[in-house]
Structure formats: structure tokens, C-alpha cells
Amino acid sequence: MSLLDQIKLQSKITDEVIVSFSMGKDSLVVLDLACKYFKKVHVFFMYMVPGLEFQERALQRYEQIYNVKIHRVPHFETSEF
């Protein structure tokens, strides 16, 4: 079963999904597909350093493109620093 088949199947079960968004090409594809197949998409981004300007600019751009709110949360590894 392909990723697209799995997304289509899940969208028949629920209209909401959570996407972990790293701004990498894989998570961008998942976000794009999620926005096409689900009515409500919850997105989160895990930062290592909060508020980095280049990350904020990119995140704001993706929020506008996909009409979603991207929640910024600390990466779990920051607790080890």
C-alpha cells in the first residue's frame, strides 16, 4: 500500500490529522497531501533554538501557502542540553 493509499484510507476514517513538520522535503510532501485530503490539519515544528529568523520566515511562508497554523514546540532533545 502506497503512502497516498494510506492517506486516502485514513481520510475516510477521520477528517483531522497531525503532521510533524521539519521543513524537509519528506515532511513537506506529507503536509501537502494532508492538506489535500483532510479537512483539519494540525501542524507542529520542533525547534532547537526558538525564534531563529530564517526558520520563522520559512514557517510563516508555509503557513500562508497551506493556510495552517504551525505550532512551535521545543525539540525533545533540548531537555538534555
Task: Report pLDDT digits (tens) over 8-58.
Answer: 999 999 999 999 999 999 999 999 999 999 999 999 999 999 999 999 999
Collapse the DSSP code of 79 into the 3-class scheme (helix H, G, I; strand E, B; otherwise coil) and give the result.
helix
Q: Does residue 34 lie in a domain region?
A: yes
Residues 6+ apart with CB under 8 A from 9: 1
Domain span at residue 26? 15-80
Query: How many domains in the chain?
Result: 1
Task: Tell me the whole-structure pTM to 2 decimals.
Answer: 0.89
Q: Does residue 7 lie in a domain region?
A: no
Q: Does residue 1 lie in a domain region?
A: no
Q: Does residue 3 lie in a domain region?
A: no
Query: Which of 1-5, 10-14, 20-24, 67-71 is the least confident region?
Result: 1-5
Examine the pLDDT at 81 and tell me if it is beyond 80.
no
Q: What is the pLDDT of residue 48?
A: 94
Q: Does residue 6 lie in a domain region?
A: no
Q: Does residue 9 lie in a domain region?
A: no
Give residue 80's pLDDT band: very low, low, confident or very high (50, 70, 90): confident
- The β-bridge partners of 46 are 73
Q: What is the pLDDT of residue 46?
A: 97
